[in-house]
Structure formats: structure tokens, C-alpha cells
Amino acid sequence: MPKNLRELPKLRDSISYFYVEHAIIDQNDSSIILHRGGEDVPVPVSALTCLMLGPGTNITHAAIKTATENGCMIVWCGENGAKFYASGMGETRNAKNTLLQAKYCMNEELHMRIVRRMYEIRFPKMNCEKLTLQQIRGMEGIRVRKAYQAASKINGIPWKKRDYKQTAWQDSDGVNRALSAANAVLYSVCQAAIYSLGYSSALGFVHTGKMLSFVYDVADLYKAETTIPVAFEAVKRNAGNPETEVRALCRKYFHAVNLMQRIARDLAWLFEDAENEQQIEKATGDLWDDEGGIVAGGVNYAEGEGCDDCSRD
């Protein structure tokens, strides 16, 4: 039975990500396999949310096709996942959540509702309704500062401030380099989740103006529990080259906080009130109309009859 691409995948049941470098990736029956150093490693692509391809990776067309058919987004990234270059398409073709997100993003009142909810996720025991956005941002700054201080104390690693330049990577201290590497992994995973759930990475609410604005919004919900402690622990393990420790630690912390389940749950809650406002998508999709708002798709309006050629996958 063919998969219905209009159904949203169960992201909460997926493994977060898998990073690979210096390998050849090929199709293997209904899955994919890695060839590296004379070793063949099968990859459970149907259970993956994001496959991250680092330097020295070659992947066949058949493997790309198999991964996308199984709902696994592919990301091309730098060494250790430290830089995002490009990505493939996620599993769903349903535009419901993208349209919902656009509606909330473009309406000032609804936009603010999402912003407040994002901060309520950070402060679950606090009512943010009567606070100004400036007050909430101040509270967030204190929360993040305390997260840095706690991770510094637990690991015995000094912390000054967030300070790095992409053009002068080695000029940053170990914690800042580890933070950048860990955040890059988190961004890739969040982007895969956002795409898989049918949202847009560009339509942000707290961040704006970038193609990854919503990715930054979502990632900021979890940094205090994931990438901040990851960075300090990575430096504790390997002060000279903490970036090498980041990937394994990210996987450990992402699993500990049930990251994929929480992203799926939190995004659903952010837009919860509007879900009933959306119409159930038809097989052909609807058409926008300047008088009636929306009219049925799959109809030949010259003849008033159904049109088989008007359907869209």
C-alpha cells in the first residue's frame, strides 16, 4: 500500500540523527548501507529523522531516494556537523502546518501569542501573560546565564562570555568552539524536525529575517538542557580539541531529554488553538479565490467538471 505523504510522520518515534563522514553510502534493499574502511554498516534509515553528511561523503542517487521515501531528511554539513550547507526535503507534503505558521507569523496578536508560549515552555510555572516582551527577554537572559554558570561549576571549567568568529575559529576558547559545534548539530536536528512536521524554517517568531529563523526559535527552547552542558563536558573530556567529543555527547543529551518527542509535542502545543480552524486537506488541494477565499481544486472551471489533470501529489 503506497504511503500517504499528506499524513504527518510520527516524529516522536524517530531516532534524532546520524552523522557520517569519509564514507560511501549506497542503497541496500529498502534501506541504505555505509561502506568505509572495508566495513559495511547498515543504517536504519526508516527510524532516522536526520542523516548528516560530513566531509568526504559520497552518496548514490538510489540512497537519496530511499532515505527521503522513508521520511529521513538529509543534511550536508561541515566537519563534526559544525556548519550547515544544504538539506533535502522532509517526509510530509502536507502544507497545513506551513499555512498555519504563516497565519500566526503575519498577525501581530497571534504572533505575540506564539512568542509568549515559547517563553512559557522555558518557564512552565510562570504566567507570562501580564509581562512585557522586554521583561520576558530579561528573564530569559538570566536563565541562560545561570545555565552557563551551572555547567561551568559542575565541570570545573571557567566561563567568561559567548564570543566567537566563524572566520577565526581557533581564536575562540574551547567552550565557545564546543558550543558552536554543538549548536550546529542541534540546529540540523531541529530543522529536520521542523521540515518533517510540515513547518517552515524561515517563519520565525522570536528570531526574524533569516531562512533559519524558526530553527533558532525552536533550538533555543532546549539549549540550556543540551548544548550548554555538552560544551562544558566536551572541554572537560578533551580541552585541546573539544569538538571531537561534541557529537557523541549531543546524542547522549538529546536522548536524555527526549528531544524529538518534545519538539513534536511542543510545536503541536504552540499552534494548538488554531488546529481546528484548518480545513482537512483534500487529495487535490484547494485553490485561492479573491472573492470566495477558497474554492475546490481538481475542477475544470471552464466546463464545471472534474479534471483528472488538476490533481497534485
Encode pLDDT of 104-127 as tens digits: 999 999 999 999 999 999 998 887
Greater pLDDT, 6 or 148 = 148
One-letter amino acid at 299 equals V
> Which secondary structure element, helix H or strand E, spans residue 137, and what is its range?
helix 133-155
Is residue 4 included in any domain, yes or no?
Answer: no
Asked if the model's pLDDT at residue 260 lies above 70, the reply is yes
Residue numbers of the domain that contains 268: 96-275
Q: What residues pair up with 17 in beta bridges, in sequence order?
A: 50
CB atoms within 10 A of CB 72: 29
CATH number at residue 108: 1.20.120.920
The answer on 256 and 187 residing in a single domain is: yes
> Which secondary structure element, helix H or strand E, spans residue 230, and what is its range?
helix 227-237
What is the spatial distance between Cα 68 and Cα 149, in angstroms, rounded to a whole number? 41
Helix (H, G, I), strand (E, B) or coil at 216: helix
Q: Any residues with CB less than 8 A from the CB of 35 and at least 6 apart, and which?
A: 23, 24, 25, 26
Q: Any residues with CB less than 8 A from the CB of 157 and at least 6 apart, and which?
A: 151, 174, 175, 232, 235, 236
**Domain edge (last residue) among 67, 87, 107:** 87
Asked if the model's pLDDT at residue 3 lies above 70, the reply is no
Report residue 87 CA to chain centroid gap. 11
The answer on 289 and 267 residing in a single domain is: no
The answer on 160 and 264 residing in a single domain is: yes
What is the spatial distance between Cα 92 and Cα 223, in angstroms, rounded to a whole number? 27
Greater pLDDT, 191 or 15 = 191
pLDDT, tens only, 122-158: 998 887 777 888 998 999 999 999 999 999 999 999 9
What is the spatial distance between Cα 114 and Cα 120, in angstroms, rounded to a whole number? 10
Share the mean pLDDT of the chain: 81
Express as a percent the part of the chain with pLDDT over 70: 77
CATH number at residue 48: 3.100.10.20
Report residue 82 CA to chain centroid gap. 15
CB atoms within 10 A of CB 102: 15
**Number of domains the chain contains:** 3
Give me the residue label for grid cell 537519496: 64
Is residue 240 included in any domain, yes or no?
Answer: yes
Asked if the model's pLDDT at residue 280 lies above 50, the reply is no
The answer on 124 and 31 residing in a single domain is: no
Mean pLDDT calculated for residue range 272-295: 60
Is residue 2 included in any domain, yes or no?
Answer: no
Confidence band (pLDDT; 50, 70, 90) for 220?
very high
The answer on 195 and 100 residing in a single domain is: yes
